[in-house]
Structure 1
């Protein structure tokens, strides 16, 4: 998925939201914004939004001298999600279709996006996900393919959300599928890293690997050989979140193993998916 003019305000918003996680003075914050604005003309106009955002955000972190400005916020979102897990597990247990319910809960967690949405209502998102379900829904086809699958790779997205992904991984594992979960190699926005995976218990139950990259989304050319091998050997791949969609949507047109699970949080992505802003999807490209 290529960038559009409307991506430019999003770069600025992500910068401001990143600065808001710190205690730097307003004058310094303003200077950082000015310096990052000078990078905009040098971004690839034919590139991927997630890739361009990463270049901007890396510069912001460099100018602040802070490797992970979202560290405390990520911890808080993980704690919030963990508190909700017992009742969500019970909801899944009582469901007529536990796997489908776990997909709904996993996509509800996709609301935790501090780069785009400064304020979010996780519990409200869960209610909405269960009531409204998916605007695009390829679950029936996924079920058929799952019958023949042995290995499945989940591409993680945000902290907090990763706890809900654990419930999805549990359901897939109960169906006899070997689950591998991929996280970012280093901090970028509030994306999940190995630290988050360990904190929410994902590493206790499943194989968790770094994708070897610090880019938003999954930029395969920047990923490690280990990750690429796991990706190639997977029978199915569940791609969580908007940045993963942005970076893998074109590949998904040919790679029918790829399923995208996300909430459309910007007009550009919503239009590309053929859904309304804020709607949730579980679909092939």
Structure 2
């Protein structure tokens, strides 16, 4: 079905700078260092903004902040909070699945977890309330028939997870995928960036009980092709069936040659540029074949 390549929209600048401020505040308390970091990030963004890939640009400034502050995991508390929120909602989610155990319901549950996103929202967001109020939302783009066809056709899927906390909901979809006799390989970030899931978070969520876990070989926000390790590049190239969670992974995938692959994006559209790209309203749930 294809999708338009996503380049940085003017709104992405303000969003990335908000992330920059938040990452700086979480990483250090030295006011002089904060000033230098912000100035250098602004300069870098000004020089590289036009025609940039938004998740790649956000990755680069976050990596710079991490390097200069020596703070390897600024969002560790937020990731713990995300896990707590997700686990607190699982009993209610399981009641929904008990009522309707179909594939589409599992997809919607996985997508509602994508709300747990400190890259798109700020640290003061009422995530529990947001997720709770969206538990029964329908899909605005619903390619579930094509998705089930892929599950019946392939024997293995590469699952690109997104955020900590969110992966608790992904686990429920992975359990459903296993019913189709599909082997699942979960790909996480090699190192912390914002609240993206790494190996520790995936194991804590129990994903290792259901799937093989691999890393991208980089600490990118979403998929940034040029940052892949050689091992992950080989795995990605050989994968014929891919599930991609979240906006940053979707942004990165729009830049890549996906010919010959069944690729499905599962996300909550949380910003205007992504919503325009997908022709949906902000806050929409999307299961789209790319």
Alignment of 1:174-213 (within 5 A): 174-213=179-218
Asked if 1:116 corresponds to 2:120, the answer is yes
Shift in CA distance, 94/117, structure 1 to aligned 2, threshold 3 Å: same
State the Cα distance separating 1:92 from its structure 2 match.
Answer: 1.7
State the Cα distance separating 1:10 from its structure 2 match.
Answer: 1.4
Give the one of 1, 12, 21 matched to 1:16: 21
Asked if 1:268 corresponds to 2:277, the answer is no
TM-score w.r.t. length of structure 1: 0.91
Aligned counterpart, 1:138: 143
Which range is displaced more, 11-20 or 251-260? 251-260
Do 1:115 and 1:190's aligned partners in 2 also have CA atoms closer than 8 Å?
A: yes
CA distance, structure 1, for counterparts of residue 126 and residue 285 of structure 2: 15
Alignment of 1:27-46 (within 5 A): 28-43=33-48, 45-46=50-51
Structure 2: segments with no counterpart, 5+ residues? 1-5
* Residue-pair matches, total: 283
- Show CA shifts across 1:149-169 (max 9, x none): 100111010110011111111
State the Cα distance separating 1:94 from its structure 2 match.
Answer: 2.8
Aligned counterpart, 1:107: 111
Asked if 1:93 corresponds to 2:95, the answer is no
Shift in CA distance, 181/126, structure 1 to aligned 2, threshold 3 Å: farther
CA distance, structure 2, for counterparts of residue 202 and residue 77 of structure 1: 16
Which range is displaced more, 42-51 or 71-80? 42-51
Aligned Cα root-mean-square deviation (Å):
2.0
Asked if 1:72 corresponds to 2:77, the answer is yes
Shift in CA distance, 250/36, structure 1 to aligned 2, threshold 3 Å: closer
Alignment of 1:107-256 (within 5 A): 107-118=111-122, 119-130=125-136, 132-251=137-256, 254-256=259-261
State the Cα distance separating 1:249 from its structure 2 match.
Answer: 1.8
Do 1:151 and 1:233's aligned partners in 2 also have CA atoms closer than 8 Å?
A: no
CA distance, structure 1, for counterparts of residue 47 and residue 186 of structure 2: 34
Structure 1: segments with no counterpart, 5+ residues? none
Shift in CA distance, 21/255, structure 1 to aligned 2, threshold 3 Å: farther
CA distance, structure 2, for counterparts of residue 175 and residue 58 of structure 1: 39
TM-score w.r.t. length of structure 2: 0.90
State the Cα distance separating 1:20 from its structure 2 match.
Answer: 3.7
Which range is displaced more, 85-94 or 273-282? 85-94
Do 1:212 and 1:227's aligned partners in 2 also have CA atoms closer than 8 Å?
A: yes
Aligned counterpart, 1:81: 86
State the Cα distance separating 1:110 from its structure 2 match.
Answer: 0.6
Do 1:238 and 1:261's aligned partners in 2 also have CA atoms closer than 8 Å?
A: yes
CA distance, structure 1, for counterparts of residue 29 and residue 276 of structure 2: 37
